[in-house]
A and B are shown apart, each in its own frame.
Chain A
Amino acid sequence: MKVKLLYFASLREQLGTAGEALELPAGVGTVAALRSHLRGRGGAWELALADSKLVRTAVNQDMAPPSAPVKAGDEVAFFPPVTGG
């Protein structure tokens, strides 16, 4: 089972993709671990998901902190702080 990853707004543009299906690597069980795994791809991923960047996350369409668990079948979204209203 895979996780569905979604990227929005400036993050989608920096990464050059709106989303992907990812086989959850062994040992990756939280939002923070997943972010770290993606950062390991280097290039735009390393820059856009750097610790210094404000990146918000949602798991299954609910805002989720870095410590939130991620499991196969989940939908995980990465995006910049929201600016609606």
Chain B
Amino acid sequence: MKVSVQSADFDAGAEIRALSRDPKVGAVASFVGVVREVGMTLEHYPGMTEKALHRIVEQAQGRWQVMDCTVIHRFGKLEPTDPIVLVAVASAHRGDAFAACEFIMDYLKTQAPFWKKEAAGWVEARATDDRAAERWK
């Protein structure tokens, strides 16, 4: 399991390849979030962020067969087309990989302490994100 909160860019292809090396892995599902249209600055709560992400991954492991998992989330100044977040889940079969990947993203959206600020101001939390997380309960 790898959880990283970093300002640096990441190579999604390299991260996915790293999850595919175990011959028991039959599926890697991944999600990359990208900055859309306007630049932003991402603030986070050092310490709690890592703790929250680890907890979310543990919950996914308790619900699905997760053989390995990588979560990378960036902070600091980001421009349009920059990748923000990567969630990649390795499993024996696609069902577990897809579900765990989506679960981790939905929980990250509502539980991990990140805040986006654009030129126009702080981004407001969306009720649709709360509903997306609720459906896993």
- Name A's B-contacting residues (CB within 8 A): 6, 8-10, 54, 58, 61-63, 77, 79-85
Query: Is there contact, CB below 8 Å, between B112 and A8?
Result: no
Q: Which residue of A lies closest to B44 (CB)?
A: A84
Query: Is there contact, CB below 8 Å, between A10 and B122?
Result: yes
Q: What are 20 A-B pairs with beta-carbon distances under 8 A?
A: A8-B115, A9-B115, A58-B48, A61-B47, A62-B51, A79-B113, A79-B115, A80-B115, A80-B125, A82-B109, A82-B115, A82-B125, A83-B122, A83-B123, A83-B124, A84-B108, A84-B112, A84-B116, A85-B73, A85-B85
| Size bracket, chain B contacts | 20 to 34
CB distance from A67 to the nearest CB of B (A): 19
Chain A residues with CB below 8 A from B136, complex form: none
Chain A residues with CB below 8 A from B122, complex form: 9-10, 80, 83
